[in-house]
Amino acid sequence: MHTAFRPSTNIMLYKVIIYNALLTIYSWPAQGEPGKCRDGITKNVAPHQLLRQDLFCSYDKESRPVRDFHKNITIEIRLNVLLFFLDEYKNVLDLHTWLGISWIDEGLNWNSADYSNVDVLHVKSYDIWQPDLSVYNSGNLETNGGWDFTHCTINSTGEVFCIPNVKWSTQCTANLQQWPFDKHICNMTIGSWTHTGEQMNINHDEGIGLKYFTSNPEWELLNSSATKKVSTYDCCPNATYQSIIFSFHIKRHADAYAATVVMPSL
Ligand SMILES: *[C@@H]1O[C@H](CO)[C@@H](O)[C@H](O)[C@H]1NC(C)=O
Ligand SMILES: *[C@@H]1O[C@H](CO)[C@@H](O)[C@H](O)[C@H]1NC(C)=O
Ligand SMILES: *[C@@H]1O[C@H](CO)[C@@H](O)[C@H](O)[C@H]1NC(C)=O
Ligand SMILES: *[C@@H]1O[C@H](CO)[C@@H](O)[C@H](O)[C@H]1NC(C)=O
Ligand SMILES: *[C@@H]1O[C@H](CO)[C@@H](O)[C@H](O)[C@H]1NC(C)=O
């Protein structure tokens, strides 16, 4: 890429700028085009209803919403943790979360001036394309490890924003040797079930949100972090696999146990 620019950087740069400008003007019209699917029949409906018709009449929710197949779609995720429970006998950590998730759908943008300045639309998550995020170390394979349904907003630039309620179950092997003074690090790894990093780029935005967190009588959350991991495998040297590891460092509230169990036995 960089070497290609070297011979005549200025001219190349010029060409790129003009080419991009032309692309923007000519070949990428907004998806919401007034009257797009109505064969000239003007229906007497409100602007946001008209917009919905124009956007969705030829929308394909099964396809990754990029105009260029070879470009990735970037998914931003933020995990707002509400509650967690560790079942130390089943070795499962349950996390109750609001998952803030956003991306740009290149098939769902419009010029708000065409629709009486309607610049946001509310949709049901199952009516639009959604990323196939899943927990890799799921502690409950009876669920699909994702979310079923939520409401989302889309604004005129095609930016989609959803906050599903998700209960994640993740494997966490508890070492009870230090009981009742035990601490555990539980990791939850989330990634796309089928896409490579070149197709779906996953970022963790601001990581973990604890604004709505309710503390737990049994466990104390010492620390938490989000880390992006990019892996490659021998099979596919040109493909990367991305995941986000959410890590929770937790400690048992030992006081009650210490008083009733440990002390008498001293
Ligand atoms: C679209 O929505 C996002 C997130 O909700 C916001 O940050 C952005 O400014 C919005 N853009 C417009 C043009 O309203
Ligand atoms: C959990 O995640 C942290 C941070 O990414 C990492 O250092 C640690 O090795 C992980 N632990 C396990 C058991 O995967
Ligand atoms: C994803 O696309 C962005 C913007 O085109 C690019 O900067 C980034 O390198 C891409 N990431 C991957 C993993 O392909
Ligand atoms: C806890 O926080 C420290 C400092 O912010 C960080 O270095 C460490 O990786 C965190 N541990 C976990 C398990 O998140
Ligand atoms: C990976 O990319 C290189 C350079 O583009 C190419 O020569 C090679 O054949 C690719 N390998 C595979 C397995 O696709």
Least confident of 26-35, 104-113, 117-126, 207-216: 26-35
DSSP 142-161: TS-SS----EEEEETT-EEE
Rounded to whole angstroms, the Cα distance separating 98 from 77 reads: 10
Atom index in ligand 1 nearest the CA of residue 161 equals 5
3-state secondary structure of 254: coil
Handedness of CA 69, 63, 195, 225 (dihedral sign): positive
Pocket around ligand 5: residues whose beta carbon is below 6 Å from it? 237-238
Pocket-testing residue among 234, 238, 240, ligand 5, by greatest number of atoms within 8 A of Cβ: 238
Q: Is the pLDDT of residue 188 over 80?
A: yes
The CATH code that applies to domain 9-265 is 2.70.170.10
Q: Is the pLDDT of residue 227 over 90?
A: yes
pLDDT-derived band at 4, boundaries 50, 70, 90: very low
Domain ranges of the chain: 9-265
Ligand 2 proximity of 227 Cβ (cutoff 6 Å): yes
pLDDT in tens, 12-69: 555 555 545 544 444 556 777 777 776 655 567 899 999 999 999 989 999 999 999 9
Mean pLDDT for 199-221 is 91
pLDDT at 25: 43
pLDDT at 213: 94
- Write the secondary structure of 191-240 as one string of H (helix), E (strand) and C (coil): EECCCCCCCEEEECCCCEECCCCCCCCCEEEEEEEEEEEEECCCCCCCCC
Ligand 1 proximity of 159 Cβ (cutoff 6 Å): yes
Least confident of 18-22, 157-161, 217-221, 228-232: 18-22
Q: Is the pLDDT of residue 221 over 80?
A: yes
Q: Which residue has the higher pLDDT, 189 or 138?
A: 189
Q: What share of the chain is helix, strand, coil (3-state, %, to 5)?
A: 20, 35, 45
Of 118-122, 140-144, 169-173, 191-195, give the range with the top mean pLDDT: 118-122
Least confident of 28-42, 109-123, 179-193: 28-42
pLDDT-derived band at 149, boundaries 50, 70, 90: confident
Q: Is the pLDDT of residue 187 over 90?
A: yes
Atom index in ligand 2 nearest the CA of residue 245 equals 5
Phi, psi of 26 (to 5 degrees): -95, -45
Q: Whole-model pTM?
A: 0.81
